Structure 1
Amino acid sequence: MGKNRYVFWGLVVTTLISALDTNIMQTASPTIVKQLGGRELFAWIFVVYMLASTVTVPLYGKLSDMYGRKKLLMISVALFTVGSILCGLANSMVSLIIYRGIQGLGAGGMVPLSMIIVGDLFTIEKRGKIQAVFSSIWAISSIVGPIMGSFFVETLTWRWIFFINIPIGLLTILCLIPYKEQIEFKKTHIDYKGFFLFGASITLLLLATNVSEPLWYAVVGVIGLVLFVFVERKEAQPFLPVTLFKNKGILMTNLFMLIYCLSFFGTSNYIPLFLQEGAHMNTYKSGLILLSIALGWMFGSTPAGKWIIRFGYKKLFIIGSVITAISGLALYIFIKAITYTNLFMILTVQGFSFGLLFALGTIASQEFAEPNIKGLSTSLQMFLRNIGTSIGVMIMGIIINHTASIVIGMQNVFLYCFILSIITVILSFFIPVKTPTSSQNEDLVSTKNKIEVGV
């Protein structure tokens, strides 16, 4: 990794604080509500953060293609840190919700921009290994986060779940300062009108998943998206270029990842709940099951870059989606009487397919795109993943809530996921192979060697 090690660790820390924030909040939020009051606003602590961090993802990608990744990442980390300070000082539920929105505005750029910088700095072969590290951080944070949340609440105060982000945010910025980008960025017109229409429409559609009467939010959101398409067709420099969707590789990869995240990826949110309520396991043991996904993810994503060079995208997408479908079918059939060990093994296999396909998706979004829209292409896929996961988790919650028991509910969830996984298997056959030639690989290595981190 050489001169890029400081940048790499900066990106790791960036991913760490983003992952920990989500998991710590789940543990500490009941205590926060008890002290600040406003229980009726409880859900908005999470909703406003999700909205702000999701809607801004494509904008960060667009701006990074114009002004550089480093500046935008440092701004997003700074914004997240300022939001954390304000959250720690909040004295009412309303003020906390506003400050969580500011935090979310920063969080929207942290992980996508980190992935874009990885795409700029490292060859295809290295990216799989690096994404395995980042994925492991998310998995480990899902277990460590709740423990840290409990520690801060019981030993110090809930305010420290936000104040802890201050030194971590400063460390991230210090690690990024030596990074000197060697890529030329072209400043162009920003279609703020298109971004506003797009952002407002997506916000309304996401709100439809979190309100008691979602119909009007959904209808207005869809109308807004239709209007967005008409406006963008007349725009000389649109917020989302039409060329992005004319590219078969980008179009099919994004469609695949959207449906994939609608299916099995959100099940990890409910498996610990299933073990606690259905099998009467303690919190620790039920949470530990998620290590199976992390373990499989590492084995799937680490060699992904080398496999792309050897086999191409299409075969790997087919293999990954078929593995997901088979493991999902096994979960549907055996979930009622499954042992902890067997569940761990099946989830490890499924984690392998998660790791492989997410690494493939990220690398494909970068390699299929022209250099001047690589940032937008990468962030667009991450945006679609977030949308797919959010809607998928909401659908799973509805399925579980409308069944007699958590066991039957999870079986129905796996049936829903299996049906969607069949669609991803079909879509995988339409993804281009586009294996880089040896000469292209040499160009990639050459490009990587030219990028230096100044001290």
Structure 2
Amino acid sequence: MNRNKYVFWGLVITTLISALDANIMQTASPTIVKQLGGMELFAWVFSVYMLASTITVPLYGKLSDMYGRKKLLMISVGLFTIGSILCGMANSMVMLIVFRGIQGLGAGGMIPLSMIIVGDLFTIERRGKIQAVFSSIWAISSVVGPILGSFFVETLTWRWIFFINIPIGIATVLCLIPYKESTEFRKTHIDYKGFFLFGISISLLLLATNVRNPLWYLVIGLVGMLVFVLVERKEKQPFLPVSLFKNKGILRTNLFMLFYCLSFFGTSNFIPLFLQEGNHMSIYKSGLILLSIAVGWMFGSTPAGKWIIRFGYKLLFIIGSFMTAISGLMLYLFINDISYLVLFLILAVQGVAFGLLFAVGTIASQEFAEAHIKGMSTSLQIFLRNIGTSVGVTIMGLIINHAVSISVGMKNVFLYAFVLSLVTVGISFIIPAKTTVKVSEK
């Protein structure tokens, strides 16, 4: 149990690094541009990180099923830390973009592998509580990150937003050293050809959401995915195992989570903007509204494991999707007329649904899968969540940009999200109630 305690803290620290990195750069961005120049390239600092950290998620899952989670997590944290050191030493925007890519290659394994290790070590009941801890770290980092970024920029230098990752990365590796894995791993053939086709195609499709003229990116990306499917059909051991798509529990759960992230999960990115621009609210107060989602998330994810054992997966997916759709409908109908407190409460309800469904979805991706593909199954769901969120946020941004005002745009965003949430309600009814794979006590 002591070993597990150290591993748990290692996973907590890993989550802390990821959460801080996602929030700390917000306040440092103007200073970085001022010192390094290259404003026209600055968007790539974020894009290259997103691409590298997204396309590598399934590969980390595949490799973890072959070589173990511990080695891969230590490698991914090491890569991330090395990338952070290089980013802190960058003397041009081009160098920073390249080094952010290295950082992203490491980041792609940190959250998925942490979730996989949680699935290996802990019972279903405890996993919901652990995910609540992780979500609270993200919530705290969303407030602390920008403040810490401002502190480094004003007191030290923007380079410390990267250097701060060095001691955290070392602490993570030290916590993971005592961990002894009990799961047996199968060393099989890795379909690098499939991964290359998959990675290039997904990269082009993601870039289509971040460039001004997306047509050719979209066309070539779709052609690449078609070629990937055709090539993989002839592969004896494809990059994405066929068993992942024949398993109804995994297939339907992943489909649900993809549409769920396409719908309301991305709306929180625009609510502070709406409050600032539409209601002339302060940056501080508009940012605090997101704590409602974080608080609700903890309440939803903490009991998720116990509820799965008591009620099964299907009922929880149905309840969570209805909670999201109903609260989302209220946002669509009343967003321009409700008070700050009522908005806080509605978003808290959505936060409960987010916490419940993300916890149940993660556990389902592990428990519906056989032991030798558990890592791939978990990472595939996280990958699809990332894709859904990226595409969903891009669509919402386009909706707001083409509206006559921020208020109209936000209302249209909620309408889009509500329509898609009805799809998740429908999918929730076809998710199996129980797993057929035997759950072992951990």
Contact 1:403/1:409 (<8 A) preserved: yes
Name which of structure 1's ranges 249-258 and 267-276 shifts more when overlaid on structure 2. 267-276
Matched residue of 1:102: which SS?
Answer: helix
> 1:18 and 1:422 mapped to 2: Cα distance?
32
2:427 paired residue number: 427
SS at match of 1:337: coil
**Which residue is 1:185 aligned to?**
185
State how far apart, in whole Å, the 1-side matches of 2:350 and 2:224 are. 37
Q: Output one character per residue of 1:228-270: Cα deviation in whole Å (capped at 9) or x when no partner.
A: 1111111111100111101000000000000000000011111
Cα offset, 1:284, TM superposition: 1.1
Q: Deviations over 1:35-83 (max 9, x none)?
A: 1000000100100000000000000000000000000000000000000
Q: Show the counterpart of 1:153.
A: 153
SS in 2 for 1:27: coil
The letter of the residue matching 1:143 is: V
State whether residues 315 and 433 of structure 1, in contact with CA within 8 Å, keep that contact through their aligned partners in structure 2: yes
* Higher alpha-carbon deviation: 82-91 or 270-279: 270-279
What is the CA deviation profile of residues 322-378 of structure 1, one whole-angstrom value per residue up to 9, with x for unaligned ones?
A: 000000000001101111100000000000000000001100000001100000000
Gaps of 5+ in 2: none
Distance in 2 separating the partners of 1:137 and 1:284: 19
Deviations 1:144-175 (CA, angstroms, capped at 9, x unpaired): 11111111111110000000000000000000
Question: Residue 165 of structure 1 aligns to which amino acid in structure 2?
Answer: N
Give the secondary structure class of the aligned counterpart of 2:28.
helix
CA distance in 1, matches of 2:310, 2:35: 57
Deviation at 1:436, TM superposition (A): 7.2
Rounded to whole Å, the distance in 2 between the matches of 1:12 and 1:106 is: 16
Segments of structure 1 that go 5 or more residues without pairing to the other structure are 449-455
Aligned AA for 1:149? G
8 Å Cα contact 1:257/1:381 also seen in 2: yes
Tell me if 1:266 matches 2:266: yes
In the aligned structure 2, how far is the partner of 1:427 from the partner of 1:27?
Answer: 40
Say if 1:399 and 1:412, in contact at 8 Å, map to a contact too. Answer: yes
SS of match in other structure, 2:410: helix
Taking the aligned partners of 1:299 and 1:88, their CA distance within structure 2 comes to: 38
Runs of 4+, deviation exceeding 6 Å: none
1:2 deviates by: 4.6
Equivalent position of 2:166 in the other structure = 166
Contact 1:309 1:436 in 2 (8 A): no
Aligned to 2:337: 337
Work out the percentage of aligned pairs sharing the same amino acid: 80
> 1:192, 1:435 → 2: CA distance?
31
The residue correspondences of 1:14-413 to structure 2 (distance < 5 A) are 14-413=14-413
Q: Mark the CA change 1:435 to 1:383 in structure 2 (over 3 Å): closer, same or farther.
A: closer
Contact kept, 8 Å, 1:308 with 1:435, in 2: the verdict is no
Aligned to 2:7: 7
Separation in structure 2 between the aligned mates of residue 281 and residue 8 of structure 1, nearest angstrom: 39
Match of residue 451 from structure 1: none
Query: Are the aligned partners of 1:312 and 1:433 in contact in 2 as well (CA < 8 Å)?
Result: yes
Cα contact 1:24–1:145 (8 A) shared by 2: yes
TM-score, length of structure 2 as denominator length: 0.99
Query: Which letter maps to 1:407?
Result: S
Please report how far the alpha carbon of residue 143 of structure 1 lies from its aligned counterpart in structure 2 after TM superposition.
1.3
AA paired with 1:344?
F
Q: Note if contact 2:208-2:218 (Cα within 8 Å) is conserved in structure 1.
A: yes
**What one-letter code is carried by the residue in structure 1 that aligns with 2:224?**
G
TM-score (norm 1): 0.96
Cα distance in 2 for partners of 1:90, 1:160 equals 12
SS at match of 2:183: coil
Distance 1:157 1:367 in 2: 46
**1:453 aligned residue:** none
Shift of 1:3: 3.7
- C-alpha separation between the residues in 1 aligned to 2:392 and 2:406? 17
Contact in 2 for aligned 1:15/1:137 (Cα 8 Å): yes
Offset at 1:20?
Answer: 0.5
CA distance in 1, matches of 2:197, 2:435: 37
**8 A contact 1:309–1:435 mirrored in 2:** no
Q: In the TM superposition, what is the alpha-carbon distance from 1:25 to its structure 2 partner?
A: 1.2
